[in-house]
Amino acid sequence: MKLRVLGCSGGIGGRHLRTTALLVDQDILVDAGTGVTDLSIAEMAAIDHVFLTHPHLDHIAALPLMIDTIADRRQKPLIVYGTAAVLTILRNHIFNWAIWPDFSEVPSAEQPFMRYQIIEPGVPVTLGGRRFTALPVEHTVPAVGYRLDSGAGSLVFSGDTGICNDFWRAVNRVDNLRHLIIECAFSNREERLAVVSKHLCPAMLERELQKLERECDIYVTHLKPGQIELTMEEIERCLGDFKPQMLQNNQTFEF
C-alpha cells in the first residue's frame, strides 16, 4: 500500500495548509478535507472509496464538491464508509437537499452517484487485499480511527481523539505496526480547551503514548496553523524519547 498525505493541518491559511485527507494508492481516501482539492479532476474521478473518521467539516469539506465534480466521469457510485452514527449525520446535515443534493438518490436511488456503507469498529473491510479496520477513539461527535493493513505492515491513523484507553488497546494488538499518525491539536497553554473538545496537547499526548507497547514511527498531525512552532517545541520537550515527527503535506508512506 502507498499512502500520500493530501492534508494534515488543523486549519487553513496559506498554500501548504490543507485539512485532513489521506490518499491510499489511487482509489481510496481516508477523510476528505480540503487536501482533496489539490487533486486533478482525473485523480478525483479515480477514487472509488472514502473512509470517514467523523463528520466534522475539516474532515469532510471536499466530499460534497468532489462528488459534484466527478459524477459525470464515473460509471459506478462512490462508496462512503462510516459508522452508522457518522453516516446519519451526513445524511441529515450535509446531503439533505438544503446544504447539498442527496447524491445517494441522484440521478436515481437505483443508480446513485454515491452509496453509504456502514462499518463496525473492529470489523475489517477488505479491498483488493488491503484491509481497513475502524478503531475506537473518543471525540465530541461519533468518531473512529483506522488501521490500514497491507498484510506486510500496518499504519494506524487516530483521526481526532482525546484520551482513549480503548484506542491504545486496539493499537497494541496490531502485530505488524509500522507507522502511527496521532493527533495533537493544541499547545499546552490550551490544555483545558483540548480536554473540553476531546483533542490532545503535548502533555496529554505524552501520557497517552506511555500506553503504546509497540515499536513504530510516530507522526503528529492536526496542528493548529497559528501554533505549529509552539506546539512542536513543546512536543520535542515532552516527547523526545518517542522521537515524533511532524506529518507533512505530500509525505508518502509505503507499507
213 contacts 173 by C-beta, under 8 angstroms: no
Distance CA(162)–CA(167), nearest Å, equals 10
Q: How far apart are CA 181 and CA 157, in angstroms?
A: 5
Is the CB of residue 46 less than 8 Å from the CB of residue 27? yes
- For 44-73, write each residue's pLDDT tens digit: 999 999 999 999 999 999 999 999 999 999
The model's pTM is 0.97
**27-41 pLDDT, tens per residue?**
999 999 999 999 999
Quick check: 155 pLDDT over 90?
yes
Are the C-beta atoms of 79 and 50 separated by less than 8 Å? yes
Whose cell is 489539490? That residue is: 38
User: pLDDT value at position 21?
Assistant: 98
Number of neighbours of residue 177 by Cβ within 10 angstroms? 22
The CA-atom distances, in angstroms, between 181 and each of 29, 64, 105, 189, 255 are 15, 26, 35, 23, 14
Query: What's the domain range around 250?
Result: 2-254
| pLDDT confidence band for 14 (50 / 70 / 90) | confident
Which residue, among 48, 61, 64, 75, has the nearest Cα to 21 in the 3D structure? 61
DSSP string for residues in 213-239: -S--EEEEE-B-GGGHHHHHHHHHHHH
CA dist., res. 31 & res. 19, Å (int): 9
Q: Can you give the pLDDT at residue 180? A: 98
Percent of the chain at pLDDT > 90 equals 97
Coarse DSSP helix, strand, coil percentages of the chain, rounded to the nearest 5 percent: 30, 25, 45
Residue count (the chain): 255
Q: Grade residue 208 by pLDDT with cuts at 50, 70 and 90.
A: very high
**In a 3-state reduction of DSSP, which class is residue 80?**
strand
Q: How many domains does the chain have?
A: 1
Confidence class for position 16, pLDDT limits 50, 70, 90: confident
Asked which of 76-80, 182-186, 238-242 is least confident by mean pLDDT, the reply is 238-242
Q: What is the mean pLDDT of residues 6-33?
A: 96
Q: Are 174 and 151 in contact (CB under 8 A)?
A: no
Rounded to a whole number of angstroms, the CA Rg of the chain reads: 18
Q: Quick one: pLDDT at residue 15?
A: 78
The predicted-structure confidence for 105-127, as pLDDT tens digits, reads as follows 999 999 999 999 999 999 999 99
Average pLDDT over residues 200-219: 97
Task: Output the domain CATH number for residue 247.
Answer: 3.60.15.10
Angle at the Cα of 57 from the Cα atoms of 63 and 146, rounded to 5 degrees: 75
Cell readout for 199 is 483533542
